[in-house]
Structure 1
Amino acid sequence: MSGDLSRLAMTVLHPGYEGVSTPDWLRRALGEGLGGVVLFSRNAIDAQLVRHIRAENPAAVIAIDEEGGTVTRLEVQDGSSFPGSRALGVVDDVALTERVGRQIGRMLAELDITLNYAPDADVNSNPANPVIGVRSFGPSPELVSRHTVAYVNGVQGAGVAACAKHFPGHGDTVTDSHLALPTVHASREVLFSRDLPPFRAAIDAGVRAVMSGHLLIPALDPSMPATLSRTAMTELLRGELGFDGMLVTDSIDMQAVAAMFGPGEIAVRALNAGVDAICVGQGSEEIVYEMRDAIVAAVRSGELPEERLAEAAARVLALSEWYGAQAALRDKARGDVDESVGLAAARAALTTSGTATLDRAPLVVEVNTRFSKAVDAATPTGITAALTALLPNTARLQLDTSGELPDLASDERPVVLVVHDAARHDWVRSTVTRALAMRPDAIVVDTGVPAPPGAAVHVATHGISRVSAQAAAEWLTQ
């Protein structure tokens, strides 16, 4: 095959990989022009790892999901040093959001990471949303717009590219696109008034990348998910909204699209729709070369215009060039350490009802719900650890969906019930009701989108992070 055509095809592919060191196939692919690499916590990310990637292809776009809050790849063991988007939206201080974005950008600048797949510009208009929730700044397009801009300004002010996601908006869904294809049942008018304003605001603010959402939106295209729809990607995002930066897919191994087509066909369809970079989180040698070969074959058959592939590759390289030109900003950001901002934001985000002071080690009952697949499986809620640091001998009990409670009435210890997204789960609310019947003095801490307080003492952190847990523990022991 033509070396130039093959290299163009490799440039638009941005896979993740397994393991803590770069595998041989990835190093070879980088040498052949692989345009990007997506890092996950499983890769044991550090500066040396990034140097190894850049040694094979200095222009590679190295990307990561470092939203803060529930979605962190760099701080997955102990939880993020920054509260997530909903907590920032609750505080509603755009200067604070920009400071948080800048500190996240600084962390990435220190590692020489090109692109942050954040912020989440989705308007969480549906409280039953299983995958966005606290990852959104909130339910209002005006709120989400102003904080999306602040976050973009913070990250990009540190010399790292930001990425607004999940276009055209994943907020009004009841299906997790990791598991199946969600449908957004909204008119074009509602999309333009509710879901698109944060993306328009991000584009006006100069965001360098946008990530597509695997969403079926009949008002735009009744037959294809937005990622594979020229109506959504080119006519709407490029044409009506005027975005000319790099457009990247959400991971194509998500079932919303993976259940429809193989990786090669998804890549070709996405490129034809107007996408520039194909992200595949669970990348492998087989998948990468299958996609490359499918793209090359599609160009040769006329199915994919070579000009479209060249345009996509050029946008990937333009993002890399932009990053290279921001070295002075990154140097400045590395010295701009603001260690207090994360905890300050988490404290400001706490909403509480009632009063309580824990004066001895409690029993923490974690009423567990499954986090979405966007959240690393190892991410802790952190409440037990934070309380243990202040009250040694704090005990922990984890419940599953069976909700089988011990005899709390006879337990002399204070009881803290930790729940996540109680508003979305009947069994969680039922479990809390039964626990409070046994122990009316139990304290409820909700780390997600909270239900109306049903306890005498209720604390909402509006997200999962190390600092959110610390803020809650401080308040409970003040």
Structure 2
Amino acid sequence: MVACQSPRASAPRPSTPDATRSIRSAPSGSAGGWAASPSASTAPPSTRVQGPAGPVRSVPAPTRSAGLTRRQLAGQRIIYSYPGLTPPASLLRIIRAGEAAGVIFFGENIAGTAQISNVIAQLRRAQAQSPVHVPLLLMADQEGGLIRRLPGAPMRSEKQIGQSADPVTAAAAAGTGAGRTLATVGMNVNLAPVLDVYSTAGNFIDQYQRSYSPNPGTVAPLGRAFIAAQQRTGVAATAKHFPGLGWAATAQNTDTGPVTLSQSLARLRGTDEFPYSAAVAIGVDLVMVSWATYPALDPNRPAGLSPTVVGQELRGRIGFTGVTITDALEAAALAHYGSTGQRAVAAATAGMDLILCSARDVSQGKAATDALVKAQAGGQLDSTGFIAAADRIAALRAHLH
């Protein structure tokens, strides 16, 4: 896959990808929201309130997404990727049209800090010409250790941090370092930290030192320290891969095929989900949901396609109100779930906000957008829920730079 799991070794930043502070209220005024004004098709219906003289029609509260075309609204759900060192003209056109939420960067996109800074400036100029006046989400996997897209901090892996003499201080320093490394080139989202609790030495997560510890009581405070420190730099953090890949064996990689993790519900909630609850409690900005299937929660669908996992477990039981993001949409774990468009609609139906199109192909993001437009127009996707997702994403973008 591209966005989140197995690191293909290439120092200093492997060429495999991965792909929050609870949403803070955005600044008022046009600078913090969409450029468009409310329209009858997108503003929520008026409600009636009881006043002293009887029922009074209240003023509809405009949403951040009011006034966007259906295609622009769908585009607010899509993270794009591209091949090589230069963004293609087609991606710049999509951004100028207000039909993209952001871009993910991989090792193949980065020749150095000056080069990627110039690319990001180009993308930001395109966004400034769009009708959507909030920053793009510009993201990478800067976990630390082997998994870094940019040279520089954090140099230590999560496992090295967990084994250090003062791990909480080390985790906070890593979060600060990751935020500063990304912010220096203009990125504003880190697809980190990994909060998976590895179960066996050398397993899928541990083999690349991506987990702090096999002890959830260690992972939780270190994840909190990383998240809080990074988000203070102005860079959003992403807790991944909910509800946890720590049980996965060495070869269980959702990039390469379906993965089923059959730990008990007690293990899932008491161990694997424990650090995510802690991250949500301190306001992590995003949560990435894995493509593994967890029979204890939903035996029939991968987590990121499961309304039970996303809606009931993450949002309901744990109380996350921020932005959810899928793992790589092209992952082989989804081989039996149809085309790019069908996968995008299934993820949106499950309650995922951002769809990560990380195949380094702009046409992938366009296909996902086309499918979301068609599904919303045809009533397959609920309009209220669709707008709520776009509004959560808008609120996140509005407080970033």
Q: Give the shorter-chain TM-score range.
A: 0.7 to 0.9
> Is 1:114 the equivalent of 2:188?
yes
- The one-letter code sitting in structure 1 at the alignment partner of 2:93 is R
CA contact 2:237–2:284 (8 Å) conserved in 1? yes
> Is 1:87 the equivalent of 2:152?
no
1:146 aligned partner: 221
CA contact 1:132–1:170 (8 Å) conserved in 2? no
| Matches of 2:334 and 2:163, distance apart in 1 | 33
> Is 1:167 the equivalent of 2:242?
yes
How far did residue 53 of structure 1 move? Answer: 0.9
RMSD: 1.6
1:37 aligned partner: 103
The alignment's TM-score, normalised by the length of structure 1, stands at 0.65
Q: Pick 1 or 2: higher relative contact order, CA cutoff 8 A, min separation 6.
A: 2
2:19 aligned partner: none
Candidates 345, 357, 360, aligned match of 1:280: 357
Name the SS of the counterpart of 1:247 in structure 2: strand
What percentage of aligned pairs have identical amino acids? 32
CA contact 2:224–2:278 (8 Å) conserved in 1? yes
For residues 371-427 of structure 1, the C-alpha deviation after alignment (integer angstroms, 9 at most, x for no partner) is xxxxxxxxxxxxxxxxxxxxxxxxxxxxxxxxxxxxxxxxxxxxxxxxxxxxxxxxx
| Matches of 2:300 and 2:354, distance apart in 1 | 22
User: How many residues are paired up?
Assistant: 320
| Matches of 2:86 and 2:392, distance apart in 1 | 28
For residues 81-131 of structure 1, the C-alpha deviation after alignment (integer angstroms, 9 at most, x for no partner) is 511100000115201210121011111111121100000000011335224
Name the SS of the counterpart of 1:232 in structure 2: helix
For residues 123-162 of structure 1, the C-alpha deviation after alignment (integer angstroms, 9 at most, x for no partner) is 0113352245410111110111011001101211111100
CA contact 2:154–2:175 (8 Å) conserved in 1? no
1:99 aligned partner: 173
CA contact 1:227–1:270 (8 Å) conserved in 2? yes
- The one-letter code sitting in structure 2 at the alignment partner of 1:54 is R
> Is 1:54 the equivalent of 2:104?
no
Candidates 135, 144, 150, aligned match of 1:74: 150
Candidates 314, 336, 341, aligned match of 1:264: 341
Report 1:2-17 matches (<5 A): 4-17=69-82
2:375 aligned partner: 298
| Matches of 1:140 and 1:196, distance apart in 2 | 12
> Is 1:316 the equivalent of 2:393?
yes
| Matches of 2:389 and 2:326, distance apart in 1 | 12
How far did residue 3 of structure 1 move? Answer: 6.2
How far did residue 80 of structure 1 move? Answer: 6.2
- The one-letter code sitting in structure 2 at the alignment partner of 1:102 is T
| Matches of 1:148 and 1:18, distance apart in 2 | 32
CA contact 1:149–1:205 (8 Å) conserved in 2? yes
The alignment's TM-score, normalised by the length of structure 2, stands at 0.77
CA contact 2:196–2:205 (8 Å) conserved in 1? no
How far did residue 32 of structure 1 move? Answer: 2.2
How far did residue 284 of structure 1 move? Answer: 2.1
CA contact 1:122–1:132 (8 Å) conserved in 2? no
1:26 aligned partner: 91
Name the SS of the counterpart of 2:400 in structure 1: helix
Q: Which structure's CA Rg is the greater one?
A: 1
| Matches of 1:193 and 1:130, distance apart in 2 | 20
Unaligned ranges ≥5, structure 1:
325-478
How far did residue 188 of structure 1 move? Answer: 1.4
Unaligned ranges ≥5, structure 2:
1-66, 129-134
